Structure 1
């Protein structure tokens, strides 16, 4: 690949971008690039490589996305729950990268599952419950509580924001779990039979109230499938709606 440009189809913001992607030099050196499978809002790209098949997540230098944090979380979680296996990680002047072994499933926003939204949201709910029930809070070294998230946002932005101040105090904790940290629909993988298979993108994984994940997971059903799928997700998880906690954690998500 001499030009370093790879045409890809996709959507606005996070998703498969519509414009050609510049393949970073380090990724070009890893082998043939089959496709670009994702672009996040910060310009990070995820590539699928051939021979052997691997995924490479790459982020440009200077963006507030810490792949070292994701490496640490993946390595901690991998013996306990289905997540990608880290093969390699590194950084240079252009950016940083994370190489993982591919998993067999398809994202919950693959066109197959967008066409079967009830199947997708039920798998997301079941997978989130499995994650929360499996990962041990007492052994988790990572913090995703309200206080930790607000402090990180304040440090990143040079001080508190009016939006975060307007949230007020958090509601009482329902149940502390090890949260995914970005439980949006694309980060659940489904097997071909429509069941939950694995989770990806665990860069913010940490201990928090389970509603920090549930509020975002249900939020994302609106973006990815349309209205009417929040309660089926909660039913699959095994919990009743909680409007107060949902509103607070969605506000925190938007503010941080």
Structure 2
């Protein structure tokens, strides 16, 4: 990825926020994910076998708006399978979102890390299904280049530079990288994008077929390559190089190198 903290399945002790303990009401609490900004996801397992998931972020965590995510999940759930919102709230420490489980295992589950071909194929198929199902004309959300460039400029102003970027772009100066982002390629096809189509956010059934998407907090209308660029790139981060072509093939497109390069740089900076 880049020099920022990496998203991962926690392997050591994770402090459980007071709010999560309260929401559990005695259910077994298991940390299942830590994102690159420090947000946490916990699985709550009840004695009767039922489960819930709680996403929690500290107040002031940039780029994570769980209220916005709850709205997007409710909207997208009219057409595609996404987690159903069970509740949300906040206290003095942070904000949380409770959702029902959806079938499947993340594409970065150990099983699919050992079978990257299946994972890559399901990611491409799932992304195409999402893009085809969600109606652009009815979508009230955007994931526009203009808004993302504002965030890139904020990060640059805060002092981020090549050391914070992925290796592919560290040879560029800040001025060079920002100038490239002013040369936005023409839109290929507007779709409702996932907004964070990295491998961990795709779930697979046990037979290797696509099941569902999670983490739709940035969902909005954009060029489909904004999603494709990151979905295929994330195979390198999580499964190793050499599988990105399977994402394009399963989606049904030939790789567009210009748009891939642009949207990956935009992702890195913004």
Q: TM-score, normalised by structure 2?
A: 0.86
Relative contact order, CA 8 A, sep 6+: which one is greater? Answer: 2
Q: Distance in 2 between matches of 1:208 and 1:169?
A: 16
Comparing 32-41 with 171-180, which one deviates more in the overlay?
A: 32-41
SS in 2 for 1:198: strand
Cα distance, 1:18 vs. partner? 2.9
Q: Distance in 2 between matches of 1:159 and 1:171?
A: 27
1:66 matched to which residue of 2?
A: 65
Contact 1:33–1:47 (CA under 8 A) maintained in structure 2: no
1:134 matched to which residue of 2?
A: 133
Unaligned 5+ segments in structure 2 are 160-173
Contact 2:152–2:266 (CA under 8 A) maintained in structure 1: no
Cα distance, 1:158 vs. partner? 6.2
SS in 2 for 1:97: strand
Deviations 1:138-159 (A, max 9, x none): 0001011211222344467768
1:179 aligns with 2:178: no
How many residue pairs get aligned? The number is 245
2:40 matched to which residue of 1?
A: 45
1:219 aligns with 2:236: no
Q: Distance in 1 between matches of 2:264 and 2:12?
A: 31
1:54 matched to which residue of 2?
A: 52
Q: Distance in 2 between matches of 1:156 and 1:26?
A: 31
CA RMSD for the aligned pairs? 1.7
Q: Distance in 2 between matches of 1:241 and 1:166?
A: 20
Q: TM-score, normalised by structure 1?
A: 0.91
Contact 2:108–2:200 (CA under 8 A) maintained in structure 1: yes
Q: Distance in 2 between matches of 1:224 and 1:87?
A: 30
The 5-angstrom pairing of residues 1-256 of structure 1 reads 13-31=6-24, 32-51=27-46, 52-64=50-62, 65-154=64-153, 162=175, 163-256=177-270
Cα distance, 1:93 vs. partner? 1.1
SS in 2 for 1:130: helix
